[in-house]
Structure 1
Amino acid sequence: MNNIYCKTNLSADSWQDSIRKAALPLIQNNYIEKRYIDSMICSVLEYGPYIVIDKGIALAHARPNDGVLKTGIALATFTPAVKFGSENDPVKIMIVLAAAGDNEHVELLAFIADLLGDENSIKEILSATDDEQLNSKVRGICYE
């Protein structure tokens, strides 16, 4: 997958800030509009921390018509980890999913399932010390 952007060891003042910072590469590379970030944050405010899908892992997303320009993924690790108010807190890995349509949504979910498929993969992601190394590890996990 060529449309994935990785960032390591980000810090955030709040869970809202963590979503903004994790999604920034998608803004910078014209995958999403700023309103997509606002929509992700509003969804958590409305429905609670449902995006925290597993221990230490959040999957932020919104509807395609909320500002997705093209399909892409951003993955970020946070140090220190971020609290969302979920039983699976604190979040160390944030994935921002931007799917332009239904087919792309299914493809991205399959990619994420491969990426987070086992505990060793998660340890590999968390052991990355810089963006380039994280990018290499993510591609290695998904294409072994």
Structure 2
Amino acid sequence: MLSEMIKEEFIQLELEVTDWEEAIRKSAEPLLIGGKITSEYIEKIIETTQKIGPYIVITKNVALPHAPTQYGALDLAMGITTLKTPVKSGNKTNDPVKYLFCMSAKDSETHLESMAELVNLLSDQTFYHVLDTAKKPMDILDYIIESE
């Protein structure tokens, strides 16, 4: 379940960043500190984005920073970051990015159920309201748990 991937300390609210690269680094930081990814994983996300474009931008205002498991995904986890000021990623259709869901999966299957739950949340306008108005990380995590 999605709530099992997300810990309170992986949720960051209203971060200030200057560009998409800093947004990726900051969104991945809690997973790095939590031992879920390596610094190589973060560098691979940025390198891949520079090479092929904003593949991580999955819908309007939403990015899902991730890289192949062999580049330092140590455990199943997801962080949620909201930005105070949205950033441009280069994805003309879905820019600017305001919400980042940094994900780590140690294989290609264990995260699939959680991803389906995330897709459902991303089609729920109330979820965006929760992301925008949360005063503390548990406000978001509580909503996710209630939605499961």
Q: Matched residues in 2 for 1:9 and 1:92: separation?
A: 9
Q: Matched residues in 2 for 1:90 and 1:100: separation?
A: 29
Q: Matched residues in 2 for 1:117 and 1:103: separation?
A: 23
**Structure 1: gaps of 5 or more residues:** none
Q: Matched residues in 2 for 1:90 and 1:57: separation?
A: 8
TM-score by length of 2: 0.88
**Is 2:15–2:81's contact at 8 Å kept on the other side of the alignment?**
yes
What residue is the counterpart of 2:126 in the other structure? 120
**Is 1:7–1:134's contact at 8 Å kept on the other side of the alignment?**
no
What residue is the counterpart of 2:51 in the other structure? 46
Shift of 1:110: 1.6
**Structure 2: gaps of 5 or more residues:** none
**Is 2:77–2:105's contact at 8 Å kept on the other side of the alignment?**
yes
Residue type at the aligned position of 1:40 = I
Q: Greater CA deviation, 121-130 or 50-59?
A: 121-130
Question: Is 1:68 the counterpart of 2:70 in the alignment?
Answer: no
Q: Greater CA deviation, 109-118 or 47-56?
A: 109-118
What residue is the counterpart of 1:107 in the other structure? 113
> 1:97 pairs with 93, 96, 103, which one?
103
- Identity among equivalent pairs (%): 30
TM-score by length of 1: 0.90
**Is 1:125–1:137's contact at 8 Å kept on the other side of the alignment?**
no
